[in-house]
Amino acid sequence: MKAIVDCNSFYCSCERLFRPELEGKPVIVLSNNDGCIISRSDEAKKLGVEMAGPYFKAKPIIEKHNVTTFSSNYNLYGDLSWRVMETLRMMFGKENVEVYSVDEAFVNLDFIPKEKINEVAFKIREIVEMWTGIKVSVGVAPTKVLAKAANRLAKKNKEATQCVLVLDTKKKIEKALEKTKVDDVWGIGYQYAEKLNHFGITNALQLSMKTPEFAKKHLGGIVGLRLLRELQGYVSIQMDDELINKKMIMTTRMFGEPVNDFKSIREAVATYTSRAAEKLRRQSGAAKHIGVFIVAKEENHNVSYKRGATISSYTTLPMATSLTQELIKPAVAIAERLYEKGRSYKKAGVMLSHIVPDTSVQGNLFMSDNKNRSKLLMDMIDNINFSQRDDILKFASSGLERNWKMQQNFRSPKYTSRWEELCKVG
């Protein structure tokens, strides 16, 4: 049996953990730059606040019903996510836990006796909440796809299920699949759902009765076949080890307000490159390719707010590197080529790819001692920044004032990761 543990309205739950007076009251969390709504409590959902909707459109409802609003606080969410996942690892062993996202993890329960599964599922919910303060829903079934369906129904009917649903019989599985719309099946996107609806397939049970030939032809070949087998109760999607070393590293942010001068673009790109280089060194990697993109502000106000021209380019470095100064220079050069005077821009980003272990990068006997010691300098800067926080050491090209930084007008304190922002108990 496989379980998926999913944190309920995770970002809102993290905020409520340190503001218990908000329990039972409507809460929302906004995306970068306070643009869109990315997390809603159940109370906010009932008021009609739309997920992924722009904040300014929901503002009348928010103000009318006194909905508490928070800016994204990823330091807090990341730390509490680690605590939830570490709790699961302590319960079942690292080898039986697959972190799927910041608020979800699969747990292998094959070694648990069948008659104990239901008890274990409730124990997961109780212990995670007791140890971390974060409420979770647990779905258990023979396969990952069925577990996701069980979890969705558990969250949808919290009072009836107590946030736990175990599909351990054929009858329970069929009943759950019948209640699951085909577009709610894990792995079925909008286009596939539309396609299946044309064939008269509207729920997961109908899809599970199709033939392997149908799945291969209409659901993307072998991927569709695996999904079908999972719906039928056959394990086809295995538990994966946690991805520690990334094959690609990207850092991107919205600007606090549109910018039209190259100085701001240059500072932003240099800052994002520095952050990406830190992540790269953290996994002891070196990058051969660096790409930069900037997103123009849409001038036509009648066009959807989501749109905007993205301009990008990349370059291949002479040698794979993780040194910030060696990455900033080509990144800024790319940004200068992309920048068009007179246009306004709302976002920029940097991407490092073709990553190799830094131990595979050959040294240069003809390089000066100072340059050969650059790696030690980077380690020193990383250690100081990690201990002191807020980029206390940075390259001058990153700027000092950073007026382009994204807005976080409603950010809560970083309760668990900053001494000066620790929660005070009176």
Tell me which of 76-85, 123-132, 195-204, 292-301 is least confident.
Answer: 292-301
Single out the residue of 30, 73, 74, 72 nearest to residue 54, CA to CA: 30
Query: Domain 1-144+153-165 in CATH: superfamily?
Result: Reverse transcriptase/Diguanylate cyclase domain (3.30.70.270)
How many other C-beta atoms can be found within 10 angstroms of the C-beta atom of residue 196?
A: 22
pLDDT at 302 over 80: no
At residue 70, does pLDDT exceed 90?
yes
In the chain, residues under CATH classification 3.30.1490.100 are: 249-398
pLDDT of residue 130: 96
DSSP SS3 for 70? strand
Beta strands in 238-323 (DSSP E): 249-259, 285-296, 310-321
Radius of gyration of the chain (CA): 24
Please tell me the predicted confidence (pLDDT) of residue 144: 95
What pLDDT, on the 0 to 100 scale, is given for residue 260?
87
161 HSE (CA, 13 A, CB side): 23
Higher local confidence (pLDDT), 239 or 23: 23
pLDDT at residue 195 greater than cutoff 70: yes
Comparing 15-19, 137-141, 297-301, the range with the smallest average pLDDT is 297-301
pLDDT at 64 over 60: yes
Query: If you average pLDDT over residues 389-415, what whole number do you get?
Result: 79
Whether the pLDDT of residue 229 is over 70: the answer is yes
Instruction: State the pLDDT at residue 239.
Output: 74
- Res 367: pLDDT: 66
Q: How far is CA 176 from CA 230, 232, 379, in A?
A: 14, 12, 52
pLDDT at residue 396 in the model: 85
Q: How far is CA 342 from the centre of its chain?
A: 34
pLDDT of residue 244: 64
Where does CATH 3.30.70.270 sit in the chain? Answer: 1-144+153-165
- When pLDDT is cut at 50, 70 and 90, the band that residue 342 belongs to is confident
Domain 249-398 has CATH 3.40.630.30: no
What is the rounded average pLDDT for all residues in the chain?
Answer: 88
Three-point CA angle 84, 35, 347, nearest 5° = 100
* Distance from chain centroid for Cα 179: 28
Give the residue from 413, 418, 393, 409 showing the smallest Cα distance to 19. Answer: 413
More confident residue, 7 or 426: 7
| Dihedral of alpha carbons 248, 254, 259, 264, sign | negative
CA distance 49 to 23: 18
pLDDT at residue 77, rounded to an integer: 94
pLDDT in tens, 345-394: 988 999 999 999 888 776 666 666 666 677 888 888 888 887 766 677 88
Q: Percent of the chain at pLDDT above 90?
A: 64
Question: How many other CB atoms are there within 10 angstroms of residue 410's CB atom?
Answer: 17
């939830």: which residue's tokens? Answer: 84
The whole-angstrom separation of Cα 47 and Cα 61 is 8
- Percent of the chain exceeding pLDDT 70 equals 92
**Burial class (CB within 10 angstroms; exposed 0-12, middle 13-18, buried 19+) of 168:** middle
CATH 2.60.120.560 fits 180-242, yes or no: no
Evaluate if residue 245 carries a pLDDT over 90.
no
Task: Give one word for 257, left, alpha or beta, with left for phi > 0 and alpha for psi -120 to 50.
Answer: beta
